[in-house]
Amino acid sequence: MLQTAPNKNTSLLGTGFYTVPEAARLLKIPPLNIRRWLGGYTYKRGDTTVTMPPLWSPQLPSYDHHIELGFRDLIELRVIKTFIDHGLSIITVRNCLDYARECANDPRPFSTRRFQTDGRSIYLESLRRSGEAEVLDLKKKQYVIKKLIDRTFRDLDLSDDIVTRWRPFDGKPSIVIDPQRAFGQPIAANYGVPTVVLADAVKAEGSIERVTHLFDVSSSVVRDAMKFEHSLAA
């Protein structure tokens, strides 16, 4: 039976809403990676077909084979991207994720305070459990993992031990992604106007000053919105 798309006015309040292309744009991850990680995939190993299950089930129900993500899914993917960008394999990340779920008692542990504080020890213990520790320089990895986690959480705000906001423009407070506002789209923090609206308005009006008057937003925030949207496009 075909499922209907979620109603943005009810079920998504406070959760955030992102299609795979939207999440890929914000995180700078190929859409195919997100679909594989959250939808599962198969591959051939000789004559054997190997099935890899999803890393986790997204916060929002899928419909007609489309994956829809919530805010915490977005943050989990952001942490995974950071690890993979620094040379960790997806198998290592999967092992870490499994053990972190036990420690944080949360299906999305990478977006919890527990992972912020204990991520390094969780990572190392997951390697020991999986038998991967013996092929790694653990002393070097301890330092790298701690540095990556500290950097990842630097522009995240936590409440009740989970990540509740992301300041995606170099950690500046002018722009925020908050699932409680505008369904989690990037907005000017003090004004609530989506950054894409401000950036597009400047293109249409040809003037930052004109846009500041139209939306009653400071010129510095308009400039930040333009730079942020340009960074996503790049």
Asked if the structure places residue 128 within a domain, the reply is no
Per-residue pLDDT tens for 147-168?
Answer: 999 999 999 999 999 999 999 9
Asked if the structure places residue 176 within a domain, the reply is yes
User: pLDDT category, 87, cuts 50, 70, 90?
Assistant: confident
Look up residue 55 and give its two tokens. Answer: 């890393």
User: pLDDT category, 102, cuts 50, 70, 90?
Assistant: very high
198, 203, 207, 211 alpha-carbon torsion, rounded to 10°: -20
Beta bridge partners of 159: 162
User: pLDDT category, 202, cuts 50, 70, 90?
Assistant: very high
Asked if the structure places residue 140 within a domain, the reply is no
Residue 4 in this model has a pLDDT that exceeds 60: no
Instruction: Tell me the residue range of the domain where 191 lies.
Output: 167-234
The burial class, CB within 10 Å (0-12 / 13-18 / 19+), for 196 is middle
Residue 73 in this model has a pLDDT that exceeds 90: yes
CA distance 135 to 172: 39
Q: Which long-range contacts (CB under 8 A, 24 or more apart) does 217-222 make?
A: 217/188, 217/191, 217/193, 220/174, 221/174, 221/175, 221/188, 221/190, 221/191, 222/198
Total of domains in the chain: 1
The burial class, CB within 10 Å (0-12 / 13-18 / 19+), for 2 is exposed
Residue 26 in this model has a pLDDT that exceeds 80: yes
Look up residue 145 and give its two tokens. Answer: 């993992």
Residue 8 in this model has a pLDDT that exceeds 50: no
Per-residue pLDDT tens for 40-52?
Answer: 998 888 889 999 9
CA distance 208 to 226: 10
What does the pLDDT read at residue 66?
Answer: 87
| DSSP sequence for 51-72 | EE--SS--SS--BTTB-EE-HH
- Most confident among 40-49, 65-74, 87-96 (mean pLDDT): 65-74
User: pLDDT category, 212, cuts 50, 70, 90?
Assistant: very high
Residue 121 in this model has a pLDDT that exceeds 50: yes
Beta bridge partners of 45: 48
CA distance 124 to 200: 46
- Most confident among 5-9, 40-44, 135-139 (mean pLDDT): 40-44
Contact by Cβ (8 Å): 220, 228: no
Look up residue 131 and give its two tokens. Answer: 């038998």
Please state, rounded to an integer, the average pLDDT across all residues of the chain: 90
